[in-house]
Copies of this chain bind each other. A is one copy, B any other.
Amino acid sequence: MDSATIIAMVSIFTAGITIAIGVIGPSLGEGKAVAVALTSLAQQPDASATITRTLFVGLAMIESTAIYCFVVSMILIFANPFWNYFVTQAAG
């Protein structure tokens, strides 16, 4: 196996695993947050404005951790500096 093959192999595997493991936490966290938001709305419909706003801020912060994983996954597939180095070297 030459260097480019190894780098490609590891990049593909890591990109998949990163997003797969990385969404477990955020999706469970968001599920919990949404669930409690619905309970709160049913108990206190008058506070729906505050609850909705706080929920969206919270979801945004939790989603941000999933985005980190997606960003790393996309970088590894489409903007991988190590891959570029070895491809350039192989072509040069």
Contact = CB atoms under 8 A, between A and B. Distances in A.
A29 to B, nearest CB: 3
A87 B87 CA distance: 14
A32 B27 CA distance: 11
Interface of A: 1-48, 50-52, 54-59, 61-66, 68-70, 72-73, 75-78, 80-83, 85-87
A83 B81 CA distance: 11
Taken together, the copies of this chain in the complex come to 14
A69 B19 CA distance: 6
B48 A34 contact: no
A66 to B, nearest CB: 5
Nearest to A2: B3
B33 A38 contact: yes
Contacts of A19: 18, 20, 22, 68-69, 72
